[in-house]
Amino acid sequence: MRRNASWFWLMIVVCASGLDARGDDVSLRPRQTASEKPPNVLFIAIDDLRPELGAFGVSYAPTPNLDRLARQGVAFTRHFVQVPTCGASRYALLTGRSPAESGVTRSNAACYQGNSALSAQELPGAQTLPELFRRSGYRTVLIGKISHTPDGRVFSYNGKGDGRHELPNAWDELATPFGSWKRGWGTFFAYRGGRHREDGGGHRDLMEFTAEKDEDLPDGLMAQTAIRTLEKFRDTGRPFFMGLGFFKPHLPFVATRRDWEAMADVAVPTPRHPDPVKSPNWHASGEFYKYKAAFKKTRPLAEKDSLAARRAYLACVRFTDRQVGKVLDALERLDLARDTIVVVWGDHGWFLGEVALWGKHTVFERALRSPLIIRAPGRIKRAGRRSEAIVETLDIYPTLIDLCRPSFRKTRYRLDGKSLGPILRDQARSVRVAATSYWGRAISLRTKTHRLIARTGPKGLSRVELYDLGDGPDPVSNVAKSQPDVTRDLLKLLR
């Protein structure tokens, strides 16, 4: 979308940076002295992860390792992404730019196509988060999906492309293991034994739980590769920035046999509101329904079939949580934990049958809310807290600058987020009043109590929806007319 589109009035209070940087210096704290060792960064992205973790108060969540991390840091229970799709959400994260500035409200290929493509040249200011750390002397390594492609190289689903780095000048090493799947997109849509969605078979089975070992699947191989890379880092003494992007629980639902069996007797609730809603922001869950299933894929799914699909998703969460645990254990074993900041981020949420949705790609609550956990030894006061502050994905970039104080501070564009350092240091309870998210021509504003949704166009805002989140996270009752004062105040914020 072009910069001169009518709705780019959205450089508003809600998206205001709070930083003094204008594509220039983004210093937040005094620089380190020569004797101080800069902290390492382990950034873990998990695809399609809902905020259903034990640390977030969900009793049936199979997430002991993520819960352990949260006990050692701060869990942000009201974190919202900028865009509910993989590539655009990650573009906002990596560039620190609001969609109101970049125009990237939908595109998965934002890093390498169109007006928002990143320059292959090294510019005076860093274009992305890992590039800034690399130019600060960090060793930067990518394993898995941090930008949109699953290995950091520009290839399409069918394997065609030139293979250049999706994030120019960002990574010293692209280390995603391919195993028997042979290429990146093969690993992303993988089944056991080298089969994958893009090998000519199309959308195969919705779920498969036949693997016996974690290393029979790509995420298991990535955890193994991450551990071996950490072993090398231990001996160099050079600070590192590792991007580790796990694929599951993204479709298809594939994990080991033991993960499926472990969820068989877990009391997983079915959706409270399983029926579709009338809204321009509802969709038909096309990706989910393309996969083949042992049950009949009705709309909505029958209760027993919905429960099977929800358990399959949670089995994948269990599998990924175990991989995270292995890497956290390696940090401890290698004596790297006390010098390493760990961030776990979900690139967006996911619907599991609520209002008959299976997927993301909407500005409803469940597609925009995802987990964010930060562990920063020596930089957090009162670890183990759950913060209910409204925070955005845009806030991660300035937060890492605040915590790490890298020597290179120049960014290509102004950062549109706010550091969460004051919350981590227990100096403030919040840093913003609302979070703003986008999907195509839809825009959504999230406060502590409500979610406002509107469509944008040449004549301004239209088709306004308001949801009172005291009634739950699902869009059932549009209260825009019955709560006119709230609607008016939130529209003022957007305008």
Q: Give me the residue label for tokens 């597609």.
A: 367
Sheet of 442-446, strands arranged across: 435-439, 442-446, 450-457, 460-468
165: annotated active-site residue: no
Following DSSP, what letter does each residue of 167-204 receive, concatenated? STTT-SEE----GGG-SHHHHHTB-GGG-BTTTTT-S-
**Active-site residue, selected from the candidate residues 15, 79, 86, 404:** 86
Q: Which two tokens stand for residue 171?
A: 């990574």
Short-list 127, 190, 178, CA closest to 153: 178
Helix extents (H) in 22-143: 64-71, 86-95, 99-102, 129-134
Following DSSP, what letter does each residue of 438-492 receive, concatenated? EETTEEEEE-SSEEEEEEEETTEEEEEEEEEGGG-SS-----TTTSHHHHHHHHH
Following DSSP, what letter does each residue of 299-363 receive, concatenated? SSPPHHHHHHHHHHHHHHHHHHHHHHHHHHHHHHHTT-GGGEEEEEEESS--EESGGG-EE--SS
CA–CA gap between residue 336 and residue 383 (Å, rounded)? 18
Q: What is the greatest pairwise CA distance in the chain? A: 64
CA–CA gap between residue 134 and residue 111 (Å, rounded)? 18
- By the 10 Å C-beta count (0-12 exposed, 13-18 middle, 19+ buried), 101 is classed as buried
Which residues, in sequence order, are bridge partners of residue 439?
442
The phi, psi pair for 201, rounded to 5°, reads -90, -10
404: annotated active-site residue: no
CA–CA gap between residue 292 and residue 206 (Å, rounded)? 5
**How many of the other CB atoms lie within 10 Å of CB of 467?**
26
Q: Which two tokens stand for residue 253?
A: 């639902």
Contact status, residue 430 vs residue 355, Cβ threshold 8 Å: no
Helix extents (H) in 254-297: 257-263, 286-290
Residues 6+ positions from 281 with CB-CB distance below 8 Å: 362, 363, 364, 439, 442, 453, 465, 475
**Active-site residue, selected from the candidate residues 15, 79, 111, 148:** 148
The phi, psi pair for 358, rounded to 5°, reads -130, 95
Q: Which two tokens stand for residue 423?
A: 């919350």
Residues 6+ positions from 152 with CB-CB distance below 8 Å: 142, 146, 165, 166, 167, 171, 174, 176
Contact status, residue 334 vs residue 316, Cβ threshold 8 Å: no
Active centre residues (catalytic): 86, 148
